[in-house]
C-alpha cells in the first residue's frame, strides 16, 4: 500500500520569504499523480499544484513550485514571496493512475509572520 509522509507538523516563514514543505512517499508503481492541497482555517481543501510522475519537468503555478525527485520518492512544495493568505494546513497526496482514492500525508501547518 502507498504511504505519504510529511515530517514537518508545523512551519513558519516571514512574509515575502520563501518556504519549502517536505513530502516523501512510498510506492512500487511507476505511474501516479502527486498533489499539494491547501486547507485554510474553516475552509475547504483546494488543489495548489499537481505533478504527473511521468513528467520530468517540475510543476509550477505562479508562486508555487515543486521539486519532484522520483528516484528519491520526494515531492516538496516551494512557496515563493509568501503572503499572509498562504497561511493554512498543507497536505501532500498521492493517487495511483488506475485508482480514485487520494492517499494523504499528515499535513503541515504553515504560519506566515507579518
- Cβ closest to other proteins, residue 56 vs residue 100: 100
Q: How many residues bind other proteins (CB under 8 A)?
A: 20
- Positions in 16-35 near other proteins (CB under 8 A): 33
Cβ burial, residue 48 (10 Å; 0-12/13-18/19+)? buried
Q: Interface residues for other proteins in 28-67 (CB under 8 A)?
A: 33, 37, 42-47, 50
Give me the residues that bind other proteins (CB under 8 A), please.
33, 37, 42-47, 50, 91, 95, 99-107
Amino acid at each position: 500500500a502507498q504511504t505519504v509522509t510529511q515530517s514537518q507538523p508545523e512551519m513558519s516563514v516571514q512574509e515575502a520569504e520563501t518556504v519549502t514543505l517536505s513530502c516523501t512517499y512510498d510506492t512500487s508503481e511507476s505511474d501516479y499523480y502527486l498533489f499539494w492541497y491547501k486547507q485554510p482555517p474553516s475552509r475547504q481543501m483546494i488543489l495548489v499544484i499537481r505533478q504527473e510522475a511521468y513528467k520530468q519537468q517540475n510543476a509550477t503555478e505562479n508562486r508555487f513550485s515543486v521539486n519532484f525527485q522520483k528516484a528519491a520518492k520526494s515531492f516538496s512544495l516551494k512557496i515563493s514571496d509568501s503572503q499572509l493568505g498562504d497561511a493554512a494546513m498543507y497536505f501532500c497526496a498521492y493517487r495511483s493512475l488506475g485508482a480514485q482514492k487520494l492517499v494523504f500525508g499528515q499535513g503541515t501547518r504553515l504560519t506566515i509572520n507579518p
